[in-house]
Amino acid sequence: MPKTPVALNSKTVLVTGSPGFIGANLVLRLLREMDSGTVVSLDNMNDYYDPALKEHRLSLIEKAAEASPVRHVFVRGSIADKALVDEVFRAYRPAVVVNLAAQAGVRYSIDHPDAYIESNIVGFYNILEACRHAQSPVEHLVYASSSSVYGGNKKVPFSVDDKVDNPVSLYAATKKSNELIAHAYAKLYDIPCTGLRFFTVYGPAGRPDMFYFSATRRLVAGETIQIFNYGNCKRDFTFVDDIVEGVWRVMRGAPARAIGEDGLPLPPYAVYNIGGGTPENLLDYVETLQEELVRAGVLTADYDFDAHRELVGMQPGDVPVTYADASALERDYGFTPTIGIREGLHAFAEWYAGYYA
Q: CB 329: neighbour CB atoms within 10 A?
A: 23
Q: CB 252: neighbour CB atoms within 10 A?
A: 19
Q: How far apart are alpha carbons 336 and 117 in whole angstroms?
A: 32
The DSSP output letter for 89 is H
Asked if 146 and 175 count as a contact pair (C-beta separation under 8 A), the reply is yes
Residue 171 is among the residues annotated as catalytic for this protein: yes
Number of H helices, E strands in the chain: 12, 17
What DSSP string describes 130-192?
A: HHHT-SS--SEEEEEEEGGGGTT--SSSB-TTS-----SSHHHHHHHHHHHHHHHHHHHH---
The active-site residue, picked from 143, 171, 202, 333, is 171
Q: How far apart are alpha carbons 205 and 25 in whole angstroms?
A: 10
Burial 61-75 (b: 16+ CB within 10 A, else e): beebbeebebebebb
Asked if 286 and 242 count as a contact pair (C-beta separation under 8 A), the reply is no
Q: How far apart are alpha carbons 254 and 269 in whole angstroms?
A: 8
The residues that are catalytic are: 171
